[in-house]
Amino acid sequence: MGGKLSSQQHAAIVSSYLDGSSMTELATSFGVSQPSVKGLLVRRGIPLRNKVITVRANAFDLLDEEACYWIGFLFADGSVAAPRGSGQASLSVGLSLRDVQHLIKLRAFLGCNGAISESPVRNTCQFSVRSNRLASRLLELGRYGPAIHADLAASVDFWRGAFDGDGTLGRYRVPPTERYRSQVGMVGSLMMMEGFSIFLESHGFRRLRPRPTKNIYQVATTGAPAEGIVSLLYEKPLVALTRKHETAKRVLASRPTTIN
């Protein structure tokens, strides 16, 4: 916290914690990170409350729409780490601080009461959970290969989740005119991009093959095909990253109206 908060604010944090506020709540209220709050409490000799972390370990067992979405999102932005010693494997995901509400939705889906750490200085937020069953299930479904599970590969919810993690969409002006053109693109491993290409082809979007870009691959297009992909992914989403869903609605609203 070094110098960011006054001594009165430090005292308020200690008092609020003793009155029952959580470290996460205090970090959010005072605009600092949770580790900073914990460090202050430890330095002041305040006994920390033990918290039992809960998690719905079977959350990915049934591949329904919501589970497919979050699996896709974690395939794009999440990571699975092997257990340390006698501990459990973990899965974690970090996002820009502006998307913290999305991590709150993920935490709720997993039935977890663990903290989401926020770093205003780095403008990031992080969520992780320990569960051998969840981690094993993601690996079994193909998080790191050798192939994406067939039910996921055919799921629009899975690909919307992946696109929310690693995709871009929007409109750009075509110079020298004032016309605007829609565009979409997603980056990832060759396995993921080949899977996305095959999925799109099954819905009528042909010749969108992965292209190498640096050490990853990309599938991208513009114009009417881009608008069609946005419609496929975001027309009626059960779950979606709010800011991308809002951008998708603007893209779809800009489509020319066909008069029969």
Sketch the domain layout of the chain as residue ranges.
7-43, 65-144, 159-253
* pTM metric for this prediction: 0.81
Quick: pLDDT tens for 224-242.
999 999 999 999 899 999 9
Query: 2: which 2 tokens?
Result: 């070094």
Instruction: Note the CATH number of domain 65-144.
Output: 3.10.28.10
Percent of the chain with pLDDT over 90: 63
Examine the pLDDT at 141 and tell me if it is beyond 80.
Answer: yes
Quick: pLDDT tens for 150-206.
999 999 999 999 999 999 999 988 888 778 899 999 999 999 999 999 999 999 999
Are domains 65-144 and 159-253 of this chain identical in fold?
Answer: yes
**pLDDT for position 67:** 98
pLDDT averaged over the chain? 90
CATH class of 159-253: alpha beta
56-72 average pLDDT score: 97
* Closest alpha carbon to 91 in 135, 148, 139: 135
What confidence tier does 256 reach under pLDDT thresholds 50, 70, 90?
low
Dist CA 78 CA 166 (whole Å): 11
**pLDDT for position 1:** 45
